[in-house]
Structures are given as C-alpha cells and as structure tokens.
Structure 1
Amino acid sequence: MGSATILTLRALLALSLIGSLWVQLLVLPALWGDLATVPIGLRVTVIMILALWLVCLQVVALCIWRLVSMAAADAVFSAGAFRFVDAVIGAIAVAAILTGVLATLMAPGPAAPGVVGIVYGAALATGGVALVVVVMRSLLRKAIEMRSELDEVV
C-alpha cells in the first residue's frame, strides 16, 4: 500500500473520529434538548442508541487505523489481524441492530412511513456491510494460508 494511500486513509479516519466526538459532545446534548416533549424513557433510549452507534463508528475507525498500520509494516497477513477484523464485524453488526431498533421506535410515532422504511433499509445495508467484512475475513485467512505455504516452499 502506497504512502499516499495510507496518509489519506489516516486523515479520513482522524476526521471521522473528530467528527464523531463533536457529535457526541455537542450534537447529542442539543438533540436531548430538542426532544424535551418526548417521554423521558424514549428520550433516553434514542440518545443512547445514537451514542452507542457513534461508539461503533469509533471502534471501526480505530481498528481500521490499526489494520492500516499493520499493512504499512507488511504485518497484516498475520493472526493478529483477526482480532481487529473481528472487532470491526462486531461493531458493524451492533450498529445494524441499533439502527433497526431506532426504526422500530420511530414506527409508532409521527415519523413518515417512508422515513421509517429508509431507516430499516439503512439497518439492512449496514448488516450487509458486516457480511461483506465477514467475506473479507475469510479472504484474509486464505491469503495467510497461501503465504505460509509460499514461505515453506521458498
């Protein structure tokens, strides 16, 4: 992987982390105030879902940062990479579930059915991303096996 690619990816990851922290510190408290007329239980649940979703994003960004560092050091084809890939899969799966729960909470309320459908669609798409990463994990496993075989031959 080229140094320009690594630098660009790290910059984007840093921006996503800074942006998510900004949302956690400034936007979620403002949203809490905007939801003043919503029953307290629902209000807490919505804010917690959004905060946990942001934590999932942060976990993914940090794990990708670590995987990029491993790739830059030519160490990504090792068993140590699996813990970061597994954490990415888990965080994306949790985000998909949280998105589905949010859509379910929106369904009986004043939200337009189309908006609820879009949020359910986002939950399905997010779950699909988790499955894509599962496939990529299996490709990583195969690449590690092939590299080990090649090392034995050489």
Structure 2
Amino acid sequence: MGKQAVLALRAVIVALFGGCVVVQGVLVTLMVRDLSGAGGGGVLPRAAAVMLIVVLGIVCAQTVLWCVWRLSTLVRRGTVFTPSAFRYVDVAGGAFAVAALLLWALGVVLAPGEAVAPGVVLLIGVVGLGVAGVALVVLVLRILLAQAVARDAEACRMQAELAGVI
C-alpha cells in the first residue's frame, strides 16, 4: 500500500470520524430536547432506548475507523503480518458483531405499536443481518492473517537456517 493510498485512507477516516462526532453531538442535543418536552404514554423510555442504541452504533463505527487507522499504520510500516495486528482485527470484528446486535435491538424496540411501519423494522433486521455478515468476513480475514503470520514466521526461520548454513 503506497504512501498516497494510506494518506487518502486516513483523510477519509478523519472525515468519517468527524462526521460521527458531529452526528453524536447533534443527535444527543436534539433527542434530549425532544425527550424533555415529550409527555407520557411510553414515548420517553422508547425514545431513550432508540437514542442509546443509535449512539452506541455510532461508537461501534468509530471503533472500526480507529482499528482501520491502526491497521493502515501497520501496513505503512510493513509490520501488518505480526501478532499485534490481531488485536485490531479482533476489535473491529467485535464492533461489527455488536453493531449487528444493536440493529436487531433497534428493530425490537421499534416493532411494537404503529409508530414505525413493519417494513422498516424488517429492513432494520436485514441490515443487521448484513452487518453480521461483515463480522463473519472479518473473522475469515483474521484466519487468513493468522495463516500469513505463520507463513511469515516459517519463512524467517528458514531464512535464518539458510544463513547459518551459508
């Protein structure tokens, strides 16, 4: 991965992370204002649950962005095939899994009543399934990383043996 590609990726990550922070700030401010003016009827707990799920979902996205930043640093240094990369891949995969669970929880919170159409709840469930699929892809990529790290270690061992023979 070239230097320009890493810089472009980091620019995108900074823009996305900044957007997440702005959305969190605006969302929390608007939701608190709406909740303070909301009456009874079960609206308050439901809206608070939706706000919590959305904020936690944004935290999951920020976690993935941070992990990609750290992995791009390892790529730039040429040290991505080391055991330190597993930590970031594991955290990113976990964040995707938590995001899928949060989407399904959002569907459960929005399902009762007539405030949200059933199709929207179904769409949220399908998106959750897609995010769970991404978590599984990250798991497969982690397995590939483990194989690459093992091969790299084997190659280093063989190279050391060859240097000893020569």
Q: In which range does the TM-score fall when normalised by the shorter chain?
A: over 0.9
| 10 and 77 in structure 1: CA distance in 2 versus 1, 3 angstrom threshold | same
- Superposition CA RMSD, Å: 1.3
1:19-98 superposed matches below 5 A? 19-34=19-34, 36=38, 39-98=43-102
Deviates more, 1:32-41 or 1:5-14: 32-41
Larger Rg over CA atoms: 2
Contact 2:49 2:109 survives alignment (8 Å): no
Matching residue's letter, 1:145: A
Match of residue 103, structure 2, among 99, 104, 120: 99
Matched-pair identity in %: 38
Distance 2:132 2:150 in 1: 27
Deviation digits for residues 58-107 of structure 1, max 9, x if unmatched?
11101110010011001111111111111101111111000000011111
Give the 3-state SS of the residue equivalent to 1:77 in structure 2.
coil
Listed as ranges, the gaps of 5+ residues in structure 2 are 160-166
Q: In structure 2, what residue type is equivalent to 1:97?
A: L
Q: How many equivalent pairs are there?
A: 154
Equivalent residues of 1:78, 1:144 under 8 A apart: yes
Q: Specify the SS of the correspondent of 2:112.
A: coil
Aligned partners of 1:32 and 1:129: how far apart in 2?
A: 32
TM-score, normalised to structure 2, is 0.88
2:119 to 105, 114, 126: 114
2:136 is matched with which residue: 113, 117, 131? Answer: 131
> C-alpha distance in 2, partners of 1:65/1:113?
38
Moved over 6 A (4+): none
Q: CA deviation at 1:152?
A: 1.6
Match of 1:9 in 2: 9
